[in-house]
Amino acid sequence: MSLLLGFFTATIISTIPSQTGDWGILAGAIIVTCNESISKLIYNSHHNRINILNIINCVKIGIIYGLFVDAFKLGS
């Protein structure tokens, strides 16, 4: 369920900033910064079995997957 939520979030993230066209670089920087800080939080914690962190990680993976799928749609 979390992967699906992340996939839909990626669709929202990729369509809203692209309406103006000048927010692409800033939006990309924000997405990378958020993903890297979530990864640092998850993989540096000593309690890897916390359910909230696992859910957040699954949403993050869904966002990354959704952005890759959108990139392939734009490239074809």
The answer to pTM > 0.85 is no
Which residues, 6+ apart, have CB-to-CB distance to 67 below 8 Å?
A: 10, 13, 14, 31
Joined together, the tokens standing for residue 55 give: 């859910």
* Domain assignments of the chain as residue spans, ordered by start: 2-14+23-75
Structure tokens at 47: 């309690």
pLDDT in tens, 6-25: 888 888 877 776 666 667 77
> At residue 76, does pLDDT exceed 70?
no
CA distances from 66 to 32, 44, 45 (A): 14, 25, 26
pLDDT for the residue numbered 21: 67
Tokens of 68: 């890759």
Q: Which of 55, 49, 40 is nearest to 5 (CA)?
A: 55
